[in-house]
Amino acid sequence: MINNFDSLHHPNRTQDVATVMVLGGGVAGMRAAIDLAEAGIRAILVESSHGLGGRVAQLGFMFPTHDCVLCRGTSDHGYGCTRPAISPAFMDYNLHPNIEVWTGTQVLNASGEAGDYTVTLRKQPRYVEPERCTNCGRCAEVCPVEKPRGFEAGLTTRRAAYKIAPRATPNAYVIDYGPYCDDCRRCEQICPTRAINLKETARDADVHVDAIILAVGHQLYDPRLSEEFGYGRFSNVITSMEYERLASRSGPTEGMITRPSDGAAPKKVAWLQCVGSRDQTHPYCSSICCMFATKEAMLAKQRVPGVDCRIFSMDERAFNKEYSAYLKQAREQYHIDYTHCRVSNLKEDPETHNLVAEYVAADGARQKENFDMVVLAVGMEPPAQATALAKQLGITLNSYGFCETDKFAPLQTNKPGVYVCGAFQSPKEIAESIIDASGAAAEVMRLLSTKISRAPRSREHPFIAHDGEFQPERNVANEPARLGVFVCSCGDAISQVVSTDTLTASAEKLPNVALAEHVAYLCLPEGQARIRHAIEAHGINRVVVAACSHRTHESLFQRVIREARLNANLLEMANIREGCAWVHRHDPAGATRKAQELVRVAAARATQLAPVYKTGIKPIPRTLVIGGGVTGMTAALAVADAGYEVVLVEREENLGGNLHNIHFTVEGSNPQRLLRDLINRVVGHDRIRVFTRSQVIEHRGHVGAFRTVLATHVKGAPQPVQSIIEHGTTIVATGGQEHRGKEYLLGQDPRVVSQHQLEEMIVHSPERVAELKRVVIIQCVREPGHPEYCSRVCCTNTMKNATRIKMLNPQCEVVVLYKDIITYGFREQYYTEARRRGVLFIRYTDETKPVVEMKDERGEMKEWGALPRGDLAFTSLQVRVQEPVLKEELTLRPDLLVVSTQVTPSDGAEKLAQILRVPLSSEGFFMEAHLKMRPMDFMEEGIFIAGMAHYPKFIEESIAHALAAAARVVTILSQEPLYVGGVVAQVDQSKCVGCLTCTRTCPFLIPQIDPKVVGNGNIMGAAWIDPAKCQGCGTCTGECPATAIQLVNYRDEQIMLRETAGLGSWVTA
Amino acid sequence: MSNNGKNGFEPDITAFGCIFCGYMAADTAGTLGWEYPSNVKYVKLPCTGKIDVRYILAAFEQGADGVYVVACPLGNCHHVKGNERGKKRVERAKRILDEIGVGGERLDMFFMSGGQGKTFATAAETMVERVKKLGPNPVKKK
């Protein structure tokens, strides 16, 4: 509930509706707001800058997929790529009805408790009323003040009247009205819609909310503080963010990589890692820099032929899905060179502006090397407002200044009802921030379970609306087409190029046109009213709007005609602004002709339009969770606590999974307490049904209505007992396992153990540990033939166990043989701690792998595996390894050898993937819909993924992932009705010959041949495309040899426009 | 247009494009004011995987002098690989156009991200210039 603010359109604000404030409008904040809104909870998204998008909006490409597809951030259809937003739900005219966006707003104070917080906000003046801004840009044209453009990391300039980015949310200009403005007020005077008011002042408001989610992100380290690199003094030393803009296709050079000093393409580029990370003032790892530097170097290699790329890093931390393969590609295919050291300083050649890097190489040699451009991979720091925010909200920060959270409640702050997600919790990448965001939304759904769906919304229309917002539609099926053509001059932003009078006059003469009108601003309330009135007054049943971009305004006009009781799909737009007037400024005659042609085609298409309807289904309010480990139990509890039924399936006798093998964590928490707590809550929960010793043997149906067959092994019964479960959604939480191979005598010699076995020994036989004299730990052990990837948890586990050994037995020598130490985020401190306690680290490479041997009683060397069992007492264990600094071979004789083996997917993952019809990654883990933007969704709607089934991860990461999947489940189960279909492909089965072309063509493997349906020529078997699954791309339609498939709203006759020859011919003007 | 081609010929060109990167690139060209010839009209499809050899041929049959397709970059398709299927069909249509004497060079496909307004404008210029040199579509009704 809001006092004082002139807030946006929210008709259904009542006391009953839950309201949550999300602080921070980057990807994490936006994701959290969408999930809350979809669950029928109102979200107020508060962003301190004047536009949404945060850091991610500035990135051109994401590793490791090199895609820009923020458009796949949600499964929403239609003008998807909405950078800086991640979903059409943030486009101004299609803003989710449960989301309010307040930009330029900061928190002043907060008080209260979970369920009842009062937050005082201050909204800084924007000086532009976004609803009246038409983006004509006049204000910027007349503005005399020039400032660096923040969105382009200062590489270009902007005026004081400016738009943050070409596509911004809110989609409007802003005036940076500062002391450098000489009060000329030219912007205010020239604004044709009077949207600018320089007298606007800051306004304060008290907002009552039930909960708060903090998604305030991070800030970048200021590299000026590292004077040795000369940033700010040497022109060719740039930050990674500046490089991102250079490499971005939407950046100032459209992706051409050039040197700032002379604009030339660089020949030799260096990346310096850990600038502001892993040092005395930042004793943590920023987690993302190794990967983004790899991406940036690859982009350089792709864009600049022959460029030499060198990355200076201490370790290469490629610890997520598909990252190892990416790094391998960088090395082998792109020949990017990785050098393991820190550069101590840079010097500039004043004439060429080239840079000289000084460093001590891994072999101890002092080196000097020339580069013509250097990129500083700057680290992540807590956001600037962290301290103030902590004070205002009463939350605790950790010693690094990030938000403090508990290991087993990673998204909760110490203040009940205040949650955290994204980089404010710890440095992390996009995918993890998105997982956190949905997870935080799940925590809120659990807190406010009685208020879920109090603000119902509907996806019945192509835009998002309130449920039951509109009057019934007028039935126009039997009416001849009567078109209304509305031409917008956008003030004169269109009409100064296109003759809108000529256009309106020619539109009037087109077939079926009942009315052609010319309006100054169609998008303003008065323009919208004109359209609604004309539809009623003239019996219009098809509408053509000739105005601006479909992308920004189609949903607005769809809504307008729906308000006038026409089906929203009876609208056709012609883009005569961005697509005509603004790109043919110097060719008014040509522009007018083109506008006439666009309107002619739009009218022809409008005549062919038919209403489009979706089907509403009631989702079965129950979810299936496969896997009863920490992830499955956490997800089950979150869904059940939010008010929905859960069926939890576990293959083993007992719940708990890997948690049974973990006795302590590196942070000092007790996982066994978590295990007991989870099991007690799951077993006691009246909405959770647990099936142990059970497996999924069949899984059919679609989102909202799945049907699964379980097989339960009952002791003494000859056959498994089958049960049928009907459910609306599925969560895959089948976990992973520590691989027990035979490498380095594991499983053959009792002196060789795995990490889990070492942990058992530390906990249950500390006396054995106390007797040890030398322990060797080998990292990154994988069975030959297994795919290579980082198992993420082993380095930290090694630090944990090595430190424990040193605590129990300080005299014991502990040597860790490693390739890269991957203790990302705050885990870096445990690496530091292990070294402080005297643990020794020796690096090996694939070429210098350690060799483990046994010596028999005669002193002869034996290859491992060569000795018969039982002879171990007479042999000694020996590890040979190449020491890289001394460049000589060391022979270590440990009395305990620990091998850190890979974490692999659980047995049976492959079979389950087939049953669920979902894909696996190259490493054998389940493959989500999108590596970055949809880490908890499968491409298949209604099926979600969490925990180690996705990739190896820590307990806290599995918990966050489980919560994220739970949130996504609640957003579906709470939709009543759940709308499916709409613009989807439909098969005319009487034409189908069952040739399977569509099944092969579909990018999503959705068409299936139904053998029970009669196809063409009375032959059994015809294609069927599930409208609940179809993504509406139409790829199948273009290849169907029988033209049996048509895409709704893009039927052949609607595209080919034969009568008017609208596809190829042009008006003769 | 002042910049006339052979015998003052101005081609009529149809550009098919998706509503993701293609439409976005056109929008970006508009927002940033990158100018291009006005004799190109954009036909929007949900994905360039929707492109159909029949649509391309129909455009020529109806009188277009040139046709091109604007898609998301390869590997960056909103529908994963719709643009790859579209590319195959454009190649097939090119062969047909060669066979029937219209000429496959009147048809092309461009891949660009939504931020590349300049690239969108350049694609339009490239096609208009090329088709000007080729002259009018031989099957166009006089």
Residue B140, domain member (yes or no): no
Q: What is the 3-state secondary structure (H, E, C) of A1002-1061?
A: CCCCCCEEEEEEECHHHCEEEEECCCCCCCCCCCCCCCCCCCCEEECCCCHHHHHCCCCC
B139 within a domain of the structure (yes/no): no
Residue A714 near residue A721, CB atoms below 8 Å: yes
Length of chain B (residues) = 142
Q: What are phi and psi of A22, to 5 degrees?
A: -110, 120
Strands annotated E in A69-216: 99-102, 105-113, 116-123, 146-148, 157-159, 161-162, 174-175, 203-209, 211-214
Q: What is the CATH number of the domain that holds B120?
A: 3.40.50
Interface membership of B139 toward A (CB under 8 Å):
no
- The values of phi and psi at residue A541, to 5°, are -125, 0
* CATH class of the domain defined by A473-609: alpha beta
Q: In angstroms, rounded to a whole number, what is the distance separating the alpha carbons of residues A436 and A419?
A: 10
pLDDT (0 to 100) of residue B1: 40
A807: tokens are: 């605590």
Has residue A268 got a pLDDT over 60? yes
In this complex, do A583 and B24 lie within 8 Å of one another by their Cβ atoms? no
Q: Which residues contact A508 (CB under 8 A, 6 or more apart)?
A: A485, A516
Binding-face residues of B in 77-116 toward A, CB within 8 A = 77-82, 85-86, 89, 112-116
Using a CB-CB cut-off of 8 Å, the residues of chain B touching A582 are 30-31, 33
Find the CB nearest A67 among B44, B45, B75.
Answer: B75
pLDDT recorded at residue A78: 47
Using H for helix, E for strand and C for coil, what is the string for A682-723? HHHCCCEEEECCEEEEEEEEECCEEEEEEEECCCCCCCCEEE
- Matching fold, domains A15-123+203-218+382-469 and A622-737+905-973: yes
Task: Give which of A1058, A1057, A1064 is closest to A605, Cα–Cα.
Answer: A1057
Is the Cβ pair A67, B76 closer than 8 Å?
Answer: yes
pLDDT value for A856: 67
Task: Report the distance separating Cα A213 and Cα A33, nearest Å.
Answer: 9
Q: Per DSSP, what are the bridge partners of residue A707? A: A700, A726
Q: What is the CA radius of gyration of chain B?
A: 14
Contact residues, chain A, for B82 at CB < 8 Å? 1003, 1033-1035
The alpha-carbon gap from A970 to the nearest alpha carbon of chain B, in Å, equals 26
- The span from the first CA to the last CA of chain A, in angstroms, equals 57
List the beta strands (DSSP E) in A612-686.
614-617, 622-626, 645-649
Q: What percent of chain A has a predicted confidence (pLDDT) above 70? A: 95
Residues of A in contact with B31 (CB under 8 A): 135, 166-167, 578, 582
Read off the pLDDT of residues B57-74 as tens digits, 9 standing for 90 and up.
999 999 999 999 999 999
Counting residues of chain A whose pLDDT is more than 90, the rounded percentage is: 83
Residue from A74, A81, A1006 to probe the interface with B (highest B Cβ count within 10 Å)? A81
**A822, pLDDT greater than 80:** yes
- Dig out the tokens for A224 from the structure: 């000026």
**A967-1019 pLDDT per residue, tens:** 999 999 999 899 999 999 999 999 999 999 999 999 999 999 999 988 898 88
Q: Which residues pair with A109 in a beta bridge?
A: A120
Checking if the pLDDT of B114 tops 90, the result is no
pLDDT at A736 over 50: yes
Which letter does DSSP use for residue A460 in this model?
S
How far is Cα A138 from Cα A394, in angstroms, rounded to an integer?
A: 45
Q: How far apart are CA A848 and CA A889, in angstroms?
A: 10
- With cut-offs at 50, 70 and 90, classify the pLDDT of residue A84: very low
Is the distance from CB of A819 to CB of A845 less than 8 angstroms?
yes
Read off the pLDDT of residues A648-704 as tens digits, 9 standing for 90 and up. Answer: 999 999 999 999 999 999 999 999 999 999 999 999 999 999 999 999 999 999 999
Q: Does A496 touch chain B (CB under 8 A)?
A: no
Query: CA–CA separation, A699 vs A716, rounded Å?
Result: 27
Query: Which one of A81, A590, A598 has the shortest CB-CB distance to B39?
Result: A590
Candidates A78, A583, A1058; nearest CB to B121: A583
Assess whether pLDDT exceeds 80 at residue A865: no
Instruction: Give the minimum alpha-carbon distance from B124 to chain A in angstroms, rounded to a whole number.
Output: 11
To the question of pTM greater than 0.90 for the whole model, the response is yes
Task: State the CB neighbour count (10 A cutoff) for residue A724.
Answer: 9
Q: Which of A61-70, A571-580, A1026-1035, B70-79 has the lowest mean pLDDT?
A: A61-70
The CA–CA distances, whole Å, from A1000 to A352, A994, A1039 equal 56, 12, 10
Structurally, at CATH architecture level, domain A15-123+203-218+382-469 sits in 3-Layer(bba) Sandwich (3.50)
The answer, yes or no, to whether residue A82 has pLDDT greater than 50, is no
Please determine, for residue A74, whether its predicted confidence score (pLDDT) is greater than 60: no
A1061 to chain B: nearest residue by CA? Answer: B62
Interchain CB distance below 8 Å, B46 and A1038: no
Please state the rounded mean pLDDT for residues A841-853.
93
Q: What tokens appear for A731 in the block?
A: 């969560």
pLDDT-derived band at A90, boundaries 50, 70, 90: confident
Nearest to A232 by CA among A122, A156, A346: A346
Assign a CATH topology to domain A221-381.
Answer: FAD/NAD(P)-binding domain (3.50.50)
Using CA atoms, how far apart are residues B89 and B122, in angstroms rounded to an integer? 23
CA distance A229 to A697: 60
Nearest to A962 by CA among A540, A397, A440, A299: A440
Instruction: Please check the confidence at residue B32 and state whether its pLDDT lies above 50.
Output: yes
**Cα(A865)–Cα(A449) distance, integer angstroms:** 59
Residue contact A579–B42, C-beta within 8 A: yes
Chain centroid to CA A184: 43
CA distance A876 to A853: 8
Residue in A68, A167, A1037 nearest the CB of B76: A68
Q: Say how far apart CA B48 and CA B27 lie, in whole Å.
A: 17
Superfamily of domain A740-901, CATH level 4? FAD/NAD(P)-binding domain (3.50.50.60)
pLDDT band at A13 (very low <50, low <70, confident <90, very high): very low
Q: Residue holding tokens 């083109």? A: A594
Give the range of the structural domain holding residue B33, as residue numbers without chain letter. 11-134
pLDDT for the residue numbered A66 = 84
**In b/e form, how buried is each residue of A355-388, taking b as 16+ CB within 10 angstroms?**
bebebeeeeeeeeebebbbbbbbbbbbbbebbee
A5, pLDDT greater than 60:
no
Quote the distance between the C-alpha of residue A856 and its chain's center. Answer: 56
Lowest-pLDDT choice from A355-364, A865-874, A1017-1026: A865-874
Number of domains into which chain B is organized: 1
Return the pLDDT at A858.
64
State how far the alpha carbon of A702 is from the alpha carbons of A72, A699, A707, in Å. 20, 10, 9
**Predicted pLDDT of residue B141:** 65
Domain ranges of chain A: 15-123+203-218+382-469, 125-201, 221-381, 473-609, 622-737+905-973, 740-901, 984-1048
Higher-pLDDT residue of A68 and A654 is A654
Residues in A 941-980 with any Cβ partner in B closer than 8 A: none
Q: Which helix (H) or strand (E) holds A439?
A: helix A430-447
Residue whose token pair is 């490493």: A923
3-state SS, A855-882, equals ECCCCCEEECCCCCCCCHHHCEEEEEEE
DSSP helix/strand/coil, A106: strand
Distance CA A562, CA A93 (A): 14
Higher-scoring residue by pLDDT: A927, A168: A927
Nearest to B28 among A135, A166, A1050 (CB): A166
Residue B83 has pLDDT above 90, yes or no: yes
How confident is residue B142, by pLDDT bands cut at 50, 70 and 90?
A: low
Among the CATH numbers 3.40.50, 2.60.120, 2.40.50, 3.30.70, which is that of A125-201? 3.30.70
Confidence of residue A1068 (pLDDT cuts 50, 70, 90): confident
A76, pLDDT greater than 90: no
Q: Which helix (H) or strand (E) holds B13?
A: strand B13-18
Q: What is the pLDDT of residue A3?
A: 41
Q: In DSSP terms, which residues pair with A239 in a beta bridge?
A: A376
Over residues A362-388, mean pLDDT: 94
Helices A550-563, A525-538: crossing angle, 10 deg rounding: 50
pLDDT of A8 above 60: no
**Average confidence (pLDDT) over A618-639:** 98
Q: What is the mean pLDDT of chain A?
A: 92
What is the Cα Rg of chain A in Å?
31
pLDDT for A666 equals 96
B122 lies within 8 A of chain A by CB: no
Q: Stretch A442-462: mean pLDDT, rounded?
A: 93
pLDDT at A862: 60
Sign of the CA dihedral A523, A525, A529, A532? positive
Mean pLDDT in residue range A385-403: 96
Given the cut 0.90, state whether the ipTM is greater than it: yes
Topology of domain A984-1048 in CATH is: Alpha-Beta Plaits (3.30.70)
Query: With bands split at pLDDT 50, 70 and 90, how would you rate the model's confidence at A4?
Result: very low
- The fold of the A622-737+905-973 domain, in CATH, is FAD/NAD(P)-binding domain (3.50.50)
* Secondary structure element (H or E) that encloses residue A330, with its range: helix A323-332
Phi, psi of A1020 (to 5 degrees): -70, 140
Which has the minimum average pLDDT: A92-106, A229-243, A371-385? A92-106
Question: DSSP assignment of A740-800, as one string?
Answer: ---GGGTTTSTTEEEHHHHHHHHHH-HHHHHH-SEEEEEEEE--TTSPP---SSHHHHHHH
CA distance A752 to A898: 6
Interface contact A934, partner B, CB < 8 A: no
CA A1031 vs CA A96, A618, A977, A1012, A1068: distances in Å: 21, 20, 19, 24, 39
